[in-house]
Amino acid sequence: MGAVAGLVHWEEDIDKSASEMLQQLASYQSEVLYSWKEDHSFIACAHQWMTEESIGEALPFQYKERYVIAADVILDNRQDLFGYLDIHPYRRRYMTDSMLLARAYEKWKEKLAYHVIGSYAAAIWDKKKETLFLIRDSSGTRSMYFWKGKSGTAFSTTKAPLLQLSQVTYTWNEEWIAQFIAIPSMLESATMTNTIFKDIQQVPPSTYIIVTREGVTSTPFTLIDLDYKVHLSSDAEYEEAFMAVMSECVKNKMRAKGKVGAHLSGGLDSGTVVSIAAKESPKPIYTYSMIPAEGFADWTDNYYLPDESMFIESTIAHAGNIIPKKMTLPDKHPFSDLDDHLHLLETPFKFIENFFWLHGIQEQAAEDGMKVLLNGARGNHSISWGSLTLNYYYYSSLMKKMKWKKLHQELDAYCENFQTGKKIVYPFIAKKAFKKSKINNEAFPSWIHSEFAQRTKVFEKLREHKVVMNGLKPEELTHFRKQYYMQNYHWNKSGVASTALSLRTGVWDRDPTDDPRIIQFCLAVPEEQYVKGGLERSLLRRATKGLLPDNVRLNMRYRGIQGADIMHRMRYIWTDIREEIQKMAAEGRIASWVNMDLIRELIKAMPEEPEPAYAGDAGFRILSRCLVLHRFTKLYEGR
């Protein structure tokens, strides 16, 4: 666990490069730093002892005098692996996760990918065959990069050790940059082997790579079977089965040698994770909740809730066994530590509106002695799948199929839940049933330079990757959800961020809603389980009865919103931000990449004072991303 790095030169001496890589690893938080060197091969690990079994472990290590193992790993299905690998009961209590991984590789070779569940990125050097095996878990929760040249190959958890090598340059990868600019969503790039640096490649999530003298082979894998279905006899059985799987995922993610904490908002996903953890843990669970800065005036629609305190407090009181902490980080805003965040993440990024507080919570958790910080970040596509749009599509489908009895039952429940009447709802559903659906497309101007887009063929490549550039029709939602778990580019950015933060703070993010076991279950149950009883996100709401307080569990009136206070936070430095953006446009450092005419128009439209609603303006998001890209190139150019 921690940062790993290694270098293999087929013929040349590696002493100088190995020393520079080792020096870089020493800058990361770790308990010990060990290395292995033999002939023209070098592997090192800045080891974090995250679990009881890992205390005192030396990484890297040789296995059977043939394999050298360096693993950044916490496994979640240890009991299954003990059985598969025939591990003696006496050894199970003390066996480390990296040794289990070595045993799995010995038995299955690269096919271990289909048997191992957890957060991991690992490297295995086969001395006999001179092959390097690199693998990243199914959700990409830990990062791994590599370089391959004529003289050899190298790998690392982060890019920094690779950038120490004389063969690796700081040349920009324009294909990556074009996708970063062209994609309107938080997705940074869809070509997952690419990074911002042309000489450094990435091991994509849910992929293993084999490097030899002859070249590189990359093989994607998946732990999700889209054809697998769960058929049970009653709603109660679906709810019980859901809770059994979810509880197991939470318990597995809590395994740590220190305190366990969790992100807690007022919503269903984090509330479910925290409540299960509090129930299962003999020790208190520490929770961290971000609330708006003091003096913030809520400008959002009544539906949104920037301050979720009332729901957070309800969950805490109902669950018990929780030590809560609310945080405001009054001196922080999206740009306050931007250069440090760019160094930390080693890439331009789009989620600046919330990364500053994610970093702040992680630092506070480390100060409080946490080793693991649970979250429910990916629950929207797994445990809490659903929306009113999905419900309306379901009702309109019942109407078109003339299943009147079922439709009456569902609309009775819907009307009761939302305090409305059938005279209002029936015409609304009929209109949706027999009118051609439209894409819900939020306007987001294209800010890529037209010649740059044409030269890189960025839009053609994004179509090849099936990147959703616009909204989705209601009938496309279920298909999109399934494809989401087959397209590894959705999984990357959060893994890169959580890995970087863990190397800074020593705290690992673990997300039970992202576990392949709960994902598989949620994809396998009938779609109607998510819309039954007049509830959106129905399965989770029904399954958590008694676990969550009803005002949280059945809340369909309010929705939390992140980053609503960022203009309030920037009110004292707004003039500086505007001036920096204006200088960015005048300097033209990235003018060959972006549509500077549009950028100048957006600059003119910037308010003199930070208007609260400007936080949600597409123009502000474009200017922010443009400034991030500008700052990153400025930090790294000339090195």
Known binding positions for L-glutamine = 97
Q: Count CB neighbours of 630 within 10 A.
A: 22
- Between CA 86 and CA 279 the distance in angstroms is 32
Helix-helix angle 388-400:422-434, to 10 degrees: 80
Residue 72, helix vs strand vs coil: strand
CA atoms within 13 A on the CB side of 637: 9
Q: CB–CB of 532/398 below 8 Å?
A: no
Q: CB–CB of 390/472 below 8 Å?
A: no
Query: How far is CA 612 from each of CA 268, 300, 355, 564, rounded to the nearest angstrom?
Result: 27, 9, 19, 8
Query: 55 burial class (0-12, 13-18, 19+ CB within 10 angstroms)?
Result: exposed
Q: CB–CB of 348/342 below 8 Å?
A: yes
- Between CA 262 and CA 7 the distance in angstroms is 37
The 8-class DSSP code of residue 487 comes to -
For the chain, the farthest-separated pair of C-alpha atoms sits apart, in whole angstroms, at: 81
Strands 2-9, 152-156: pairing is antiparallel
Rounded to the nearest 10°, the torsion over CA 66, 68, 73, 77 is 0
- Between CA 4 and CA 36 the distance in angstroms is 12
User: At which residue do the structure tokens 């479910």 appear?
Assistant: 272
- Between CA 444 and CA 625 the distance in angstroms is 13
Closest alpha carbon to 348 in 559, 627, 136: 627
501 sits in the region (left: phi over 0; alpha: psi -120 to 50; else beta) called: alpha
- Between CA 636 and CA 200 the distance in angstroms is 14
Closest alpha carbon to 521 in 153, 241, 296: 241
- Between CA 201 and CA 188 the distance in angstroms is 15
DSSP secondary structure string, 7-27? EEESSS--HHHHHHHHHHHTT
DSSP secondary structure string, 240-300? HHHHHHHHHHHHHHT--SSEEEEE--SSHHHHHHHHHHHHH-SSPEEEEEE-PPTTPPP-S
In the chain, the amino acid numbered 514 is: D
